[in-house]
Amino acid sequence: MPADIEELAARIQAELGERAHRYASLPDELAIEVGAGELLEVGRTLRDHPDLSFEMLVDLAGVDYLDYGRAEWRTNSATATGFSRGVNRAAPHTLAGDKRFAVVSQLLSVRHNRRIRVRVWCEELEDPVVDSVTSIWAGAEWFEREAFDLFGILFRGHPDMRRILTDYGFIGHPFRKDFPLIGNVEVRYDPQLKRVVYEPVSIEPRTLVPRVIRHDNRYNSELQDVPLQDRAATPGAPVLGEPLPGAAAVGAAAAGAAAAVVDIPPSPGGDGG
């Protein structure tokens, strides 16, 4: 751990005490977790205390921990922890503990050139609610609207709790883990009604796992462990020392193009005249 991170952690522990708890993060980062009922009080302390002075909120985002830590297949090249790329729609959703939604804020102290991450868990599962920090950092207004729009997190005391990214009349919150990847409705223009209409999606959901099929002679079992000079017996295999098919035609075309080049005399009055 860097010394400045440990010093900052000690100062925060001295000022906040049991109101803040440190949780796992990268070695050069500091992340704390606070209770939902103490968020505003802790936020004012982080902003106003002269030894902390986190006067700028850089970012605020919602997090959905549904299915967190579940891996759906085994692989040697990817981690088996964290969010998984695959979606097994037949498997039931999992939830670690009784917490699902959280709000994470990234704070910056311009005076001390330090950063900190603050996480607070929402009070409810289906209708998550947490206090708005717009009274502490005014720049959180649009960030909280985005978290409400994409995750459905309500911010108590927000001055303008409206959607900010999705369309008017949009149903659901697209960043929730249980929201279908293809959405619920599709949009098209109806020439008879002369307006845009919403209809149920017509495509079937599928798991987007790429599969690559590549035909390469290097992986041909008939050519493995065979010397290059002995590969003539294999149909279609190139022979050492012989030109590739079509090379003669390409060479003849190039020779004909070179023969067609003639010297063009300089024009009268030019530099050479």
**CA–CA separation, 170 vs 188, rounded Å?**
15
Q: pLDDT per position in the chain (273 positions), as tens? A: 578 899 999 999 999 999 999 998 888 899 999 999 999 999 999 999 999 999 999 999 999 998 887 655 555 454 444 444 455 556 667 676 678 999 999 999 999 999 999 999 998 878 899 999 999 999 999 999 999 999 999 999 999 999 999 987 788 899 998 888 888 888 889 999 999 888 888 877 665 555 555 566 666 667 666 666 665 555 555 554 555 455 555 455 555 544 444 444 555 555 544
Number of H-type helices and E-type strands within the chain = 4, 9
Q: 136: which 2 tokens?
A: 């502490």
Q: Kindly calculate the radius of gyration of the chain based on its CA atoms and give it in whole angstroms.
A: 32
Domain residue extents for the chain: 3-65+100-162
pLDDT at 9: 92
Residue type, 187: V
Report the b/e string of 231-269 with b at 16+ CB within 10 A: beeeeeeeeeeeeeeeeeeeeeeeeeeeeeeeeeeeeee
Please name which of 126, 130, 119, 128 lies closest in space to residue 93, comparing C-alpha atoms. Answer: 126
- Nearest Cα neighbor of 100 from 82, 80, 127 is 127
Task: Kindly tell me the burial class for residue 116, based on how many C-beta atoms sit within 10 Å of its own C-beta (0-12, 13-18, 19 or more).
Answer: buried
What was the pLDDT predicted at 272?
47
Q: In whole angstroms, what is the distance from residue 148 CA to residue 150 CA? A: 6
The Cα–Cα gap between 75 and 173 comes to 31
The model's pTM: 0.66
SS3 130: strand
For residues 203, 86, 24, 62, the Cα torsion angle rounded to the nearest 10 degrees is 0
Domain 3-65+100-162 fold:
Beta Polymerase; domain 2 (3.30.460)
Angle at 143 between CA 39 and CA 201, to 5 degrees: 120
pLDDT of the residue at 80: 47
Give me the DSSP letters along 2-67: -HHHHHHHHHHHHHHGGGEEE----TT--EEEE-GGGHHHHHHHHHH-TTT---EEEEEEEEE-TT
